Amino acid sequence: MYDRGWSDGLPLVPPTRERVLRMLEGTSRSGDEVVALMPPNLVDCTVEKVAVNSVMAGCLPEYLPVVLASLEAICTDDFNMHGVLATTMGVGPVLVVNGPIATRIGMNSGVNVLGHGNRANATIGRAVQLVVRNVGGGAPGGVDRATHGSMSKLGFCFAEDEAGSPWTTLAEDRGFDRSQDVVTAFCGEGPRILVDQKSRSAESLVRMLAEGLLASVSPRTVMGMDGLLVLSPEHMARFGDAGWDRPRFMEEIGKLLVVETDGILAGAGGIEEGLPEGLSGLTLPKFRPGGLLVVHAGGPAGLFSAIIGGWLNGPMGSEPTSREIIR
């Protein structure tokens, strides 16, 4: 299978007829139903083809609906998977799962949430990328021209810790009900740790988080690239104790996520990268409206959060996209 170019570099589970049929038992959808036109080659991708790659990735049948919904999310004009593949930036789909299904299929939202060790998290993200590779033709060195790549190219999927959060969930923030099973696809890089072990007030911590976010992707980018902030339970506790809900947090951090353009003009500080001279004298937001997504996840100990930088966002790039997960 590796020699035939089917692998992402890791061992695969042989997709025998029996295994594929068992995988299809995880959904009520017909095997010949077309899920999407799969970029970059715009090939009809059926439920059965998704099941084949889900077997190879190591999924259990109950994971299949999440894989299907994830593919529906990324194979949209809004998400622009073709562009995500073709960019030289090392970005890929970052999948966040909300709803009862996360607990039901055993997804991890706690210790080591963005790392290894959980079958559902690891194989759902991997299955999505294998479909893009094997059905759509999006293999490295072809259309995929990433300079460095990142873990989001192999498979990046996790669940939000809803039970431990005092806030509404990411899915609720995007218009869904808490009882719905939802996957949100965000085009992002690998996570970067942000450390704050001393802030005991919400006011102090939100300033520290803003400082980290201002450097996301580049300190000299404004309004062009989105961000995903993963708040740990210990950091979330600062805001919960202060009585801050999600809207209050977003309001307060939004006030801090602004940049004086004179400091990031091309040539300022001896750095040639930067904004054109015509944008001098302005104060601009780091992220476009709605360009910062915030989720709660991670282990109960550790005064760290994680920042995942985005790609070119908006109509010219990729929009975060959510889909309901239907069995």
Helix (H) or strand (E) holding 194: strand 182-195
Question: Nearest-CA neighbor of 129 among 211, 29, 32, 53?
Answer: 53
Which neighbouring-strand residues pair with 292? 227
Span of 38-47, 96-105, 312-321 with lowest mean pLDDT: 312-321
158, 111 Cβ separation under 8 angstroms: no
Domain residue limits, the chain: 17-324
- Give the count of beta carbons closer than 10 Å to the beta carbon of residue 204: 13
Query: Which pLDDT tens digit goes with each residue over 41-92?
Result: 999 999 999 999 999 999 999 999 999 999 999 999 999 999 999 999 999 9
Query: Which pLDDT tens digit goes with each residue over 299-314?
Result: 999 999 999 999 998 8
Instruction: Evaluate if residue 145 carries a pLDDT over 90.
Output: no
**Per residue in 278-307, is it b (16+ CB within 10 Å) or e — as a string?**
eeeeeeeebbeeebbbbbbbbbeeebbbbb
Residue with token string 């949100």:
184
Instruction: Evaluate if residue 187 carries a pLDDT over 90.
Output: yes
Query: Which pLDDT tens digit goes with each residue over 12-21?
Result: 999 999 999 9
Instruction: Evaluate if residue 148 carries a pLDDT over 90.
Output: yes
Query: What percent of the chain is modeled with pLDDT above 90?
Result: 96
Question: Nearest-CA neighbor of 275 among 232, 221, 223?
Answer: 221
Task: Please give the structure tokens belonging to residue 296.
Answer: 């709660």
pLDDT given at position 314: 82
pLDDT given at position 315: 83
Q: State how far the Cα of 262 lies from the Cα of 268, in Å rounded to an integer.
A: 7
pTM, full prediction: 0.96
Query: Which pLDDT tens digit goes with each residue over 263-275?
Result: 999 999 999 999 9
pLDDT given at position 313: 86
Confidence of residue 257 (pLDDT cuts 50, 70, 90): very high
- Give the count of beta carbons closer than 10 Å to the beta carbon of residue 82: 18
Polymer length in residues for the chain: 327
Q: Residue 82 region, left (φ>0) first, then alpha (ψ -120 to 50), else beta?
A: alpha
pLDDT given at position 105: 98
pLDDT given at position 151: 85
